[in-house]
Amino acid sequence: MAPTPSGTSMFANAPVDPSRPNETLAEREKRLQKLLSSGPVPDGLTAEELLDAKIAGGLTYNDFLILPGFIDFAADIVSLETQVTRRFKIKTPFLSSPMDTVTETAMAIHMALNGGLGIIHHNCSVEEQAEMVRKVKKFENGFITDPKCLGPENTVRDVLKIKETYGFCGIPITFDGKMNSKLLGIVTSRDVDFLQGEANQNRPLKDVMTTDLVVAQEGVSLTEAQRILKASKKGKLPIVDSEYRLTSLLARSDLIKTRDYPLASTKHSSKQLLCAAAISTHHEDRVRLKALVDAGLDIVVLDSSQGNSSYQIEMIKFIKSTYSHIDVIAGNVVTQEQARRLIEAGADALRVGMGSGSICITQEVMACGRPQGTAVYQVAKFARQFGVPVVADGGIQNVGHITKAIALGASTVMMGSLLAGTTESPGEYFYHEGKRLKRYRGMGSLDAMEKGDAAGKRYYSEGDKIKVAQGVAGAVVDKGTVKRFLDYLKTGLQHGLQDIGVRSVADLISSVETGYVRFERRTASAQIEGGVHGLYSYEKRLFS
Catalytic residues: 360, 458
Element at 107 (helix H, strand E): helix 105-113
Residues forming beta bridges with residue 329, ordered by sequence position? 301, 349
Q: What angle do CA 520, 526, 530 make, to 5 degrees?
A: 100
Cα distance between residue 321 and residue 327, in whole Å: 12
Q: How far apart, in whole angstroms, are the C-alpha atoms of residue 221 and residue 229?
A: 12
Rounded alpha-carbon distances, angstroms, from residue 469 to 350, 358, 365, 442: 25, 14, 8, 9
Phi, psi of 536 (to 5 degrees): -70, -45
Question: Residues, the chain, total?
Answer: 544
- Annotate 183-211 with b (16+ C-beta within 10 A) or e (fewer): bbbbbbeebbeebeeeeebeeebeebbee
In 10 A of CB 147, how many CB atoms? Answer: 19
State residue 96 phi and psi, 5-degree precision: -100, 140
CA dihedral (165, 170, 174, 180) in degrees, to 10, reads -90
From residue 113, alpha-carbon distances to 106, 284, 469 in Å are 11, 32, 35
Measured CA to CA, the distance from residue 525 to residue 464 in angstroms comes to 45
Residue 388 identity: V
Q: Are 169 and 187 in contact (CB under 8 A)?
A: yes
Cα 277 to chain centroid distance, Å, stands at 12
